[in-house]
């Protein structure tokens, strides 16, 4: 699971340009697929026949895309003006390296000694930042990048400390890694394993996937915000790294199905899988679109708590990532029922 996660996090895959991740997923999934589909928007849907056949399919899904940057303008002096792809806090990117394919650069901002007192009291915006790719002029820069090119944070994947991992795109390559590991086993029930696109810019891939498959139930595997830092007290921490898989009751896009939440919670509890829930209603997942598909879909979610999410250096615990996989496996087992 860890080595697979590290490989996935290293791949570039900003929303709308998930090609490298999709190619890797297809290669890994094909040997185990009873059916394999991709759609016009880029979702990958892999069916694996289980030991029990259901009238309507069950979906387990994770999104392939990550936050990134997109080239909006090239200045006369060869600098790149850009926009964020997905929700990124500008404070976490200043001085960080980025990559456009083989072209590397670094995100910069006006030097502090040139700023006004008012500017130093406000958070920078994307329009205040630029990417320096080392070009000496617009003409040189245009030989290396074009308007509309996608870029991603250029961050190494590192295991450190007491069982932690640092990487870009843990949200949601942790879910993709869990799906690929689940695909190696025959599931207890017929299951579609779906790798969606464009989650970070509006849950778009999930909408077309759910409409096409019309599942009975859906489990979303994710990375979710953990703010368990020094001096963050009470429920403001949301969830805790090393605290186990996060089973949310509600977020900004979904009220998760109570029955499925209880099934997932009990499945974890009886197997000794560490779990927690979120102490603050925030964020959203593909479930926000899936549950509204056609006549409605019952949804639940299992997520790894991730510090510094949507940044060049997200941090998660290996044990929590493994707990996401274990929770998903337990969910499918218990969804089958008692006629094993």
| Annotated catalytic residue 231 | no
184 is in an annotated binding site: no
320 is in an annotated binding site: no
Position 340 scores a pLDDT of 47
Q: Which of 153, 188, 203 corresponds to the end of one domain?
A: 153
Q: How far is CA 27 from the centre of its chain?
A: 20
Say yes or no: 19 and 134 in one domain: no
Say yes or no: 239 and 259 in one domain: yes
Angle, CA 277 vertex, CA 235 and CA 59 arms, to 5°? 145
Residues spanned by the domain of 42: 2-66+168-336
Say yes or no: 283 and 247 in one domain: yes
222 is in an annotated binding site: yes
User: Is it the case that residue 320 has pLDDT exceeding 90?
Assistant: yes
> What pTM was computed for the model?
0.94
HEC states along 9-29?
A: HHCCCECCCCHHHHHHHHHHH
Mean pLDDT over all residues of the chain?
Answer: 94
Say yes or no: 279 and 183 in one domain: yes
User: Is it the case that residue 339 has pLDDT exceeding 80?
Assistant: no
89 is in an annotated binding site: no
Position 112 scores a pLDDT of 81
For range 182-188, the mean pLDDT? 95
| Catalytic entry in 18, 66, 199, 322 | 199
User: What strand order describes the sheet that includes 58-63?
Assistant: 35-38, 44-48, 191-196, 58-63, 217-225, 298-306, 245-246, 275-276
Say yes or no: 129 and 190 in one domain: no
What is d(CA 123, CA 144) in angstroms, rounded to the nearest whole number? 30
Position 338 scores a pLDDT of 56
Q: What is the pLDDT of residues 206-237, one digit of tens each?
A: 999 999 999 999 999 999 999 999 888 888 99
Q: Is residue 24 part of a domain?
A: yes
Q: How far is CA 275 from the centre of its chain?
A: 19
Beta bridge pairs of residue 222: 303
Name the domain count of the chain: 2
Q: Is residue 312 part of a domain?
A: yes
310 is in an annotated binding site: yes
Q: Is residue 159 part of a domain?
A: no
Say yes or no: 183 and 275 in one domain: yes
For range 46-65, the mean pLDDT? 94
What is d(CA 100, CA 164) in angstroms, rounded to the nearest whole number? 28
User: Is it the case that residue 287 has pLDDT exceeding 80?
Assistant: yes
The mean-pLDDT minimum among 4-8, 102-106, 234-238 falls in 234-238
The closest alpha carbon to 263, from 222, 224, 300, belongs to 300
At 225, phi and psi to the nearest 5? -65, 125
């Amino acid at each position: 699971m860890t080595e697979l996660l590290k490989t996935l996090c290293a791949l570039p895959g900003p929303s709308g340009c998930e090609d490298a991740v999709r190619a890797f997923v297809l290669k890994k999934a094909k040997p185990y697929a009873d059916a394999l589909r991709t759609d016009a928007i880029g979702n990958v849907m892999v069916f694996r026949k289980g030991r029990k056949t259901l009238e309507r399919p069950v979906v387990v899904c994770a999104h392939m895309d990550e936050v990134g940057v997109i080239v909006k303008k090239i200045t006369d002096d060869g600098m790149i003006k850009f926009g964020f792809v997905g929700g990124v806090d500008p404070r976490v990117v200043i001085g960080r390296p980025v990559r456009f394919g083989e072209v590397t650069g670094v995100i910069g901002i006006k030097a502090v000694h040139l700023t006004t007192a008012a500017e130093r009291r406000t958070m920078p915006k994307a329009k205040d930042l630029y990417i320096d790719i080392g070009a000496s002029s617009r003409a040189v820069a245009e030989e290396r990048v074009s308007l509309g090119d996608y870029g991603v944070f250029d961050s190494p994947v590192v295991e450190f400390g007491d069982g932690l991992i640092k990487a870009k795109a843990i949200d949601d390559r942790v879910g993709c890694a869990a799906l690929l590991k689940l695909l190696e086993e025959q599931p207890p029930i017929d299951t579609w394993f779906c790798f969606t696109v464009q989650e970070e810019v509006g849950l778009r891939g999930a909408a077309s996937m759910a409409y096409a498959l019309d599942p009975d139930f859906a489990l979303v595997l994710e990375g979710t915000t953990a703010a368990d830092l020094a001096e963050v007290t009470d429920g403001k921490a949301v969830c805790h790294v090393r605290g186990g898989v996060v089973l949310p009751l509600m977020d900004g896009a979904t009220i998760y199905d109570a029955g499925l939440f209880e099934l997932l919670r009990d499945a974890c509890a009886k197997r000794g899988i560490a779990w927690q829930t979120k102490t603050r209603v925030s964020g959203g997942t593909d479930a926000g679109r899936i549950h509204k598909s056609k006549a409605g879909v019952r949804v639940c979610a299992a997520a790894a708590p991730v510090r510094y999410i949507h940044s060049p250096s997200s941090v998660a615990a290996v044990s929590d990532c493994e707990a996401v996989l274990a929770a998903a496996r337990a969910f499918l087992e218990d969804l089958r029922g008692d006629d094993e």
